[in-house]
Chain A
């Protein structure tokens, strides 16, 4: 099932990359057609996959929920502070995105730690500070094992799991997932690749333009 979802994302990504016109970004993930009754007529509408409610603790030990992301465009990823392989690269790249949109009230960042045991809020705070991140535009969150690994696989379509054969015991992919103000998935980018992270920034700009157009 997950595989199918992933291919949907991959296919959509490839399309979004080759598609040079400034069309809207596709909505990714699973979709369901539903029949609705509008003014006595039956019409088919599509329900897109959305990010479900969640509740975590951030680097300041304050509860962070899906409500804090209502009406925000945000970028989500999975990491852990003692990860020595892809995480430093991901967050070097994410820092560039953060610095570009720093102070923009429409944009947020959400980094989930998958090291449930050790990455408590105090440790996340130290990490954020050392990375050069203050305030809560970029949330580094700690949550229960099920809530973190569950939302990774089911909602953000990022594979992350505990693995005793890995030297660090934790395996995860370096995707940056772009979520729009309605909690739809709008893009997935390899956070270890500079060119994909550039694309992410272009796509954030597109979403911002889309929002501005909707507000009019």
Chain B
């Protein structure tokens, strides 16, 4: 009986340890992705979307609309990789410009830049993994 309790406790402890380390790993990844993503953003995106994510007039849309970024989260990888030339509404303002494709960005770069934009400019969406990028890219239109 006593052994049983000890085993159960040990078991719970180890589970929580595993759980914890996962979270920590994600936390560490999050920071790494965010920092790298900022660099990728500055190089590939900032000219149009701005250092403050505010875009430019109705030429280039802002990335400050948390709603759009949330609702279209699983489209972001496709937009970034393949570009986009549609009419979209951001904060109720129409944009119909041409977002260039980024064929040179690897899945991990895309994950990193997504972590950056979805956690900057007033957004707070947390982590986004390379695996999610891979899944999303398989479902591009």
Where the two chains meet, the residues of A that have a C-beta atom closer than 8 Å to any C-beta of B are: 82, 84-89, 91-92, 95, 127, 129-132
Count contacts on B: residues with CB < 8 A to the other chain: 11
Contact present for B48 and A84 (CB under 8 Å): yes
Give the contacting residue for B59; candidates A85, A86, A89, A127; CB below 8 A: A127
Contact present for A88 and B59 (CB under 8 Å): yes
Contact present for A130 and B57 (CB under 8 Å): yes
Contact present for B60 and A88 (CB under 8 Å): yes
Question: Nearest Cβ in chain B — how far from A126, in angstroms?
Answer: 9
B38-63 interface bits toward A, Cβ cutoff 8 Å, 1 = contact, 0 = none: 00000000011010000011111000
Task: Tell me which of B50, B56, B59 has the highest count of chain A C-beta atoms within 10 A of its own C-beta.
Answer: B59
Separation of A162 and B47 alpha carbons in the complex (Å):
22
Separation of A130 and B56 alpha carbons in the complex (Å):
8
With a CB–CB cut-off of 8 A, which chain A residues contact B56? 88, 91-92, 95, 131
With a CB–CB cut-off of 8 A, which chain B residues contact A85? 47
5 closest residue pairs by CB, A with B = A130-B58, A132-B57, A130-B59, A88-B47, A131-B57
With a CB–CB cut-off of 8 A, which chain B residues contact A88? 47-48, 56, 59-60
With a CB–CB cut-off of 8 A, which chain B residues contact A127? 59
With a CB–CB cut-off of 8 A, which chain B residues contact A84? 47-48, 100
**Closest chain B residue, CB of each to CB of A127:** B59
Question: Nearest Cβ in chain B — how far from A129, in angstroms?
Answer: 8
Instruction: List 6 A-B pairs, Cβ < 8 Å.
Output: A84-B48, A88-B48, A92-B50, A95-B57, A129-B58, A130-B57
Q: Does B98 contact A (CB under 8 A)?
A: yes
With a CB–CB cut-off of 8 A, which chain A residues contact B59? 88, 127, 130-131
Question: Nearest Cβ in chain A — how far from B48, in angstroms?
Answer: 5
With a CB–CB cut-off of 8 A, which chain A residues contact B57? 95, 130-132
Question: Nearest Cβ in chain B — how far from A135, in angstroms?
Answer: 15
**Closest chain B residue, CB of each to CB of A90:** B47
Separation of A84 and B44 alpha carbons in the complex (Å):
9
Contact present for B98 and A86 (CB under 8 Å): no
Separation of A91 and B47 alpha carbons in the complex (Å):
10
With a CB–CB cut-off of 8 A, which chain A residues contact B60? 88
Question: Nearest Cβ in chain B — how far from A19, in angstroms?
Answer: 30
Given contacts A84-B48, A92-B50, A131-B57, 12 further A-B contacts (CB under 8 A): A86-B47, A87-B47, A88-B47, A88-B59, A89-B47, A91-B56, A95-B56, A95-B57, A127-B59, A129-B58, A130-B97, A132-B58
